[in-house]
Amino acid sequence: MPIFDREKWSRFGSGFSGYDCAIGFDRRYAFLMYEITDSPHRDPMPEMRVVVARMERPMENRFYRIQLPHFDFARIAYGESPSTEFTAVDLGGIPMAITRLIAKKRRSTPWRLRVVN
């Protein structure tokens, strides 16, 4: 089963290059992507985004993205404790977490983004 089709790649990945990926719970993938630029000095820094693919969903509502314009080159990972989340850390040591909270009766609440101090 393909992760992206042409239309979804055009919407979420066009103009960007995949740099890192983490595999999370329920077959979710988080792709760390950087804007493709012609600048050899990376000035200004290319835009960064995280594209999450929820593989349990049909193609039409499988994806969402989070723009991270002030992150320098980062890496992404998945962890389950204390809550399920994808975590990225940039070269300057700034961490960012994309978290899914679990509410009572196992209903999930929306994803939230936080920069950890």
Token reading at 67:
């723009």
Mean pLDDT of the chain: 79
The b-or-e profile of 7-32 (16+ CB within 10 A means b, else e) is ebeeebbeebeeebebebeeebbbbb
HSE-up (13 A, CA, CB side) for residue 84: 17
pLDDT at 25: 78
106 pLDDT band, cuts 50/70/90, is very low
pLDDT at 103: 34
By C-alpha distance, which of 94, 99, 51 is closest to 74? 94
Angle subtended at Cα 81 by Cα 101 and Cα 69, rounded to the nearest 5 degrees: 65
More confident residue, 111 or 33: 33
pLDDT of residue 13 exceeding 50, the answer is yes
Which of 45-49, 84-88, 109-113 has the highest mean predicted lDDT (pLDDT)? 45-49
